[in-house]
Amino acid sequence: MSNQESPSHPRNIVLVGFMGSGKSTIARVLHQRLGYPVVEMDQILEKRAGKPITRIFEEDGEEAFRDMEAGLLCELDDPSASKRIISTGGGIVVRPGNREVLPRLGYVVWLKVPAKTILSRTSQTRHRPLLQTENPEAAVREMMEKREPFYEEVSNLALETTGLDSGEIASGILECARYHFAQLS
Ligand code: S3P
């Protein structure tokens, strides 16, 4: 990517999308390609809280988690902090204030994955408190319906990932991001 910096347009790549959409995996591939550091928001929040997300939800409640998440997002909203890959939690778009911040951080990519893929990817894992319900399928479909317009609203690119491997997804993102940043410089 160009070395030219514009303080008002940080050259971060921000990944948004539902739980299990592949944000962390793609963040790692982008890191390998670009060398930019990865900011894994959920990992930072777990470190700060000193416990896993499931326990934050159990002991402090979802609102407390959302407050921490929104606080961290505001910290990341620093125009001079550029060239990072920011991997967000799937619920980052729920709060309207977060939806204002996200586009300021850089090039926002929505990894778009169908509900059935999400369900098969998340069914074997227990670290997502919002899916620990009697009917995870209904939970996923309900949350997706609510969130998809929000992902759409904040993103520069909606990338349908079905049929693509992680290398192909990363290549698509890089090509589009390069074009986007070139237009700004
Ligand atoms: C959440 C997604 C999770 C994590 C938390 C809440 C959500 O992140 O932030 O469990 O509301 O969709 P991933 O998208 O990385 O699973």
Rounded to whole angstroms, the Cα distance separating 113 from 47 reads: 28
Atom of ligand 1 nearest to the CA of 143: 12
- Measured N-to-C along each axis, helices 166-184 and 23-34 cross at an angle, to the nearest 10 degrees, of 60
Atom of ligand 1 nearest to the CA of 20: 16
pLDDT score recorded for residue 5: 52
Atom of ligand 1 nearest to the CA of 17: 14
pLDDT score recorded for residue 3: 44
Q: Which residues contact 173 (CB under 8 A, 6 or more apart)?
A: 13, 26, 30, 109, 157, 159
Atom of ligand 1 nearest to the CA of 45: 9
Long-range contacts of 95-99 (CB under 8 A, 24+ apart): 95/66, 95/70, 97/70, 98/69, 98/70, 98/73, 99/150, 99/153, 99/154
pLDDT score recorded for residue 110: 98
The per-residue pLDDT for range 149-174, each reduced to its tens digit, is: 999 999 999 999 999 999 999 999 99
pLDDT score recorded for residue 30: 98
0.85 surpassed by pTM: yes
Q: Are 175 and 124 in contact (CB under 8 A)?
A: no
Beta-ladder partners of 16 = 110
Q: Residues in the chain with pLDDT < 50?
A: 1-4
pLDDT score recorded for residue 125: 82
Distance of CA 107 to the CA centre of its chain: 12
Q: Are 113 and 166 in contact (CB under 8 A)?
A: no
What's the 41 CA to ligand 1 centre distance in angstroms?
10
DSSP 91: T
3-state helix, strand, coil in the chain (%, to 5): 55, 15, 30
By alpha-carbon position, which residue is closest to atom 8 of ligand 1? 89
Ligand 1: which of 130, 140, 144, 148 to mutate, judged by most atoms within 8 Å of the beta carbon?
Answer: 130
By alpha-carbon position, which residue is closest to atom 10 of ligand 1? 128
The per-residue pLDDT for range 122-145, each reduced to its tens digit, is: 888 888 999 989 999 999 999 999
- Ligand 1 is surrounded, with C-beta below 6 A, by 19, 23, 42, 53, 89-91, 128-130
